[in-house]
Amino acid sequence: GESVGLHLPTLSVQEGDNSIINCAYSNSASDYFIWYKQESGKGPQFIIDIRSNMDKRQGQRVTVLLNKTVKHLSLQIAATQPGDSAVYFCAETGGSYIPTFGRGTSLIVHP
């Protein structure tokens, strides 16, 4: 069936490094993608989104890249800080327009 998944369950980086979190999706009808950050015991927090008519979008310290050819999405975090430590989810809305989440990647930032 259709699914959204992440390549790496855990990513460890040093403070100040750049982080890249990857996500694969299989629903070719997906046209809107969202990255969420979830800290322990809290609800997911919106980070950045991208629509399928774009291949790159930048926010504050974050960049999302979309490669529709290989159905791949990535989140780049520049100058990663300890406060960035969390689980990151990509979500996609395909034909159902309902945000569907993958399993998540745990980002650990070492000071």
Helix %, strand %, coil % for the chain, to 5? 5, 55, 45
Least separation in angstroms between CB 34 and other proteins: 6
Q: Does 24 bind other proteins (CB under 8 A)?
A: no
From the CA atom positions of the chain, what is the Rg in Å? 13
Q: Does 51 bind other proteins (CB under 8 A)?
A: yes
Q: Which one, 2 or 49, has the nearer CB to other proteins?
A: 49
Which residues are at the interface with other proteins (CB under 8 A)?
4, 31-32, 34, 36, 41-46, 49, 51, 89, 91, 93, 96-104
